[in-house]
Amino acid sequence: MDRLRRLLTFIRFSHTIFALPFALGSMLVAAGGLPDARTVGLILLAMVFARTAAMAFNRVADWDMDQRNPRTAGRHRLVSRPAAIALTAGSAAAFVATTWFINSWCLWLSPVALAIIFLYSLTKRFTHYTQIFLGLALAVAPVGAWLAVRGEWAWPPLILAAGVLFWVAGFDLIYATMDHDFDRQEGVHSMVVRFGVPRALRIATALHAVMFGLLIVFGLAAGLGVIYYASLALVLAALLYEHRAAARLDLGAINDAFFKSNAFVGAVFVLAVLADRW
């Protein structure tokens, strides 16, 4: 049990809740309600394996750099580097294998999904727009869930994916302010380094404003009702809470608001879609 606990801490398994609700919301809309247990189980497995592979790869790619960062140095005492490499490979293989049981679209696109989610970990070496690439990595989730149910393309999951991209890019901009000084010292690329903390926070606000608008458009495209639109008031309140915490430039407050507000946004979203489609 201790080994499992260290492993889950190493990959920040609790952060799976950020992308998962949007995949499940897309699934519910695609199915017009709750699909069969097999489909739900396969989508959940694919999400967990993909996210585990992405996080393990991120740890391996940034191994030496993270050991020099006071905020992240402790995580590398939890798992050895060879174990992290094995976890990356095993999770990636398990993700592809899971898609084989879903449908041909998901299987054929599984290497593309892995390439997108692995790319983020490398972008900080050549572009300041790393937060956009992280958003793109998580935006894969609602599209994949839709394809798992329908096996065809449509506008609602693409609109939702765009919303996820702007949401993640915005909250990661806020989170990245905690590493601003270290990243500048190390020559790490990020939007916070490129624009500075005050301007980066203003950009994060703009990104979340676009995300909120896209949630409204998604509701229209998906034919959602009053329950969904009423829930958006709670989403807006959570985003405002996060930005108020970020404006204080208190690292403890940012870290606390980051997890609480974004977990709340995801939970409200999926519960509202579920209530609307029940």
DSSP state of 62: T
In this predicted structure, the answer to whether residue 98 has a pLDDT above a threshold of 90 is: yes
* 120-124 own/partner pairs: CB under 8 Å, 24+ apart: 120/54, 120/58, 121/54, 121/57, 121/58, 121/61, 121/62, 122/61, 123/189, 124/188, 124/189, 124/190
For the chain, domains (ranges, CATH) are 2-277 (1.10.357.140)
Residue 32 CA from chain centroid, whole number: 24
pLDDT band at 64 (very low <50, low <70, confident <90, very high): confident
Helix (H) or strand (E) holding 80: none
For residue 179, the model assigns a pLDDT of 76
Write the pLDDT tens digit of every residue in 210-263: 999 999 999 999 999 999 999 999 999 999 999 988 887 766 667 777 778 888
In this predicted structure, the answer to whether residue 186 has a pLDDT above a threshold of 90 is: no
Q: Are 61 and 121 in contact (CB under 8 A)?
A: yes
In this predicted structure, the answer to whether residue 16 has a pLDDT above a threshold of 70 is: no
The residue ranking higher by pLDDT, 96 or 175, is: 96
**pLDDT average, residue stretch 191-197:** 89
Q: State what percent of residues in the chain have pLDDT above 70.
A: 88
Token pair for 262? 């974004």
**Separation CA 66–CA 35 (nearest Å):** 41
In this predicted structure, the answer to whether residue 76 has a pLDDT above a threshold of 70 is: no
pLDDT band at 271 (very low <50, low <70, confident <90, very high): very high
DSSP code string of 175-230: HHGGGHHHHHHHT---HHHHH-HHHHHHHHHHHHHHHHHHHHHHHHHHT--HHHHH
**pLDDT average, residue stretch 260-270:** 92
Contacts of 239 (CB under 8 A, 6+ apart): 208, 212, 261, 265
Q: Are 128 and 194 in contact (CB under 8 A)?
A: yes
Stated pTM of the model = 0.92
Most confident among 38-47, 183-192, 252-261 (mean pLDDT): 38-47
**pLDDT average, residue stretch 259-277:** 92
In this predicted structure, the answer to whether residue 277 has a pLDDT above a threshold of 70 is: yes
For residue 177, the model assigns a pLDDT of 85
Q: Is 234 exposed, middle or buried (0-12, 13-18, 19+ CB in 10 A)?
A: middle
